[in-house]
Amino acid sequence: MRIFVGNVAFSTSEFDLEELFGRYGRVSSTRIATDRDTGRSQGFGFVDMPDTAEAQAAIEALHGASFAGRPLTVNEARPREARQAPTQPTLRAAAHAHAEGAAPRPSCWAPAARYAARPRPGAGRARRTPAAWAPASGREAQASRRRAPHHTS
C-alpha cells in the first residue's frame, strides 16, 4: 500500500521516514518529493508498505503525530490524476495540423522576412582560436612584437 506523508520537515530524509514507518512493519520504499530546479524538499513524501494491515496500523498511529517538530498528515495515497491537455495547441501539434492542411499557421510562427535572408554574423570569416591570440613560446612572442607597428604621434 502506498502512503502519503504530508507536512514533513524540509530536513527530513528518506532514511528518517523509513525508520519511522519501519516500527510498524516492513517498508519496501520511501520517496520525498523534491523541487526539480533547486533539489529542495517540497515537504511531503510517499512510503510503500507491502502489507496492508501494517500500513493501516502505521496510518492510524502516525496521523497527527509530531515528527521533527511538525504534526504529520498520514493517509492512503490517492492515484495520480491524469493531467489535462493544454488549452492551446503546442507548436508541434499546430505544425502537424498545418502539414495536413487543417489550418494556416499564425504569422507569429513564420520568421520575419527581414531576418530570413540575412546571413549569420561572422559567417564565412575565419575564427581565431585562443591559441592564435597569443604566441606559445618566448621567441614567437619577440617576433610578434617586432612585427607589430608602433604609432607615435
> Cα separation of 153 and 142, whole Å?
24
**pTM higher than the cut 0.75:** no
Domain architecture of the chain: domains with CATH:
2-76 (3.30.70.330)
> Cα separation of 64 and 73, whole Å?
6
Residue 49 confidence (pLDDT) above 60: yes
> Cα separation of 44 and 5, whole Å?
6
In this prediction, residue 81 carries a pLDDT of: 82
Q: Region 54-71: what's the mean pLDDT?
A: 94
pLDDT in tens, 143-153: 655 555 655 65
CA distances from 131 to 13, 62, 105, 124, 148 (A): 49, 65, 47, 20, 18
pLDDT in tens, 73-113: 999 999 888 877 666 656 566 556 555 555 555 555 555 55
> Cα separation of 2 and 21, whole Å?
12
> Cα separation of 51 and 63, whole Å?
18
